[in-house]
Chain A
Amino acid sequence: KNQVEQSPQSLIILEGKNCTLQCNYTVSPFSNLRWYKQDTGRGPVSLTIMTFSENTKSNGRYTATLDADTKQSSLHITASQLSDSASYICVVRNSGGYQKVTFGTGTKLQVIP
């Protein structure tokens, strides 16, 4: 069964600090992995996409890594800001069928002053 597990479930950090969110998946065959940011009560917005051959990709203060061998990804946020407070969802797509995507349950990040 395709699964995507994220940790931690929630996280509180001080403004300006760094943090790392984890995503482990069992989706196969693997196509790509995306990280989405979802503000409370809003739709998710794509941050990064990573394919099998990519192991690091940055988008401003967000850096995603992918280890396709261990089926793990991480999202590192540098110099956090209050506006980073949101849920971060890991989404993995397999290549076996039409838009077969599996969503993680998300990590809820709160950045406090």
Chain B
Amino acid sequence: DGGITQSPKYLFRKEGQNVTLSCEQNLNHDAMYWYRQDPGQGLRLIYYSQIVNDFQKGDIAEGYSVSREKKESFPLTVTSAQKNPTAFYLCASSIPGQRLSGNTIYFGEGSWLTVV
């Protein structure tokens, strides 16, 4: 079945450590995104990528890094520079463009990151 796979589902990080969240999609979508979700807040965009080897900062990119070496993969690294990394992270993908169907953002199941 087509979809977006995030791993791990739960991750614990010690302060000062970098951690990488995996995101893989087999929907053949060009665009991929990383969002952060905190209680009581809407999803906030961390990074997005329109095509392979290209990515742009979102609204809260500080302390995060990404890569887009393959169309189907968009890993997110939470670095030690991110001061408050404990959150629920959602990866998403879509077909860019103006077609109505291209406006649907498909989400993965999310990854919980906790700093201990």
Contact = CB atoms under 8 A, between A and B. Distances in A.
A32 B100 contact: yes
B42 A99 contact: no
Contacts of A102: 42
Interface residues of B, number: 26
B104 A49 contact: yes
A42 B104 contact: no
Contact of B42 (A9, A31, A51, A89): A89
User: Number of contact residues on A: which range applies?
Assistant: 20 to 34
Interface stretch (A55-63, A66-74, A103-111): A103-111
A90 to B, nearest CB: 9
Given A43-B110, A44-B107, A98-B50, A49 B42 contact: no
A85 B30 CA distance: 33
Nearest to B42: A103
A41 B112 contact: yes
Interface centre among A32, A93, A98, A104 (most CB of B within 10 A): A98
Contact of B48 (A44, A99, A106): A99
Interface string A14-28: 000000000000000
A106 B42 contact: yes
B73 to A, nearest CB: 17
B102 to A, nearest CB: 9
Interface string B37-60: 000111110001010000000000
Interface of B: 4, 6, 31, 33, 40-44, 48, 50, 88, 90, 92, 94, 96, 100, 103-110, 112
28 contacts: A4-B42, A9-B40, A31-B103, A32-B103, A41-B88, A41-B110, A41-B112, A43-B6, A43-B90, A43-B107, A43-B108, A43-B109, A46-B104, A46-B105, A46-B106, A49-B100, A49-B104, A91-B105, A98-B50, A99-B33, A99-B48, A99-B94, A99-B96, A99-B103, A99-B105, A103-B44, A105-B41, A106-B42
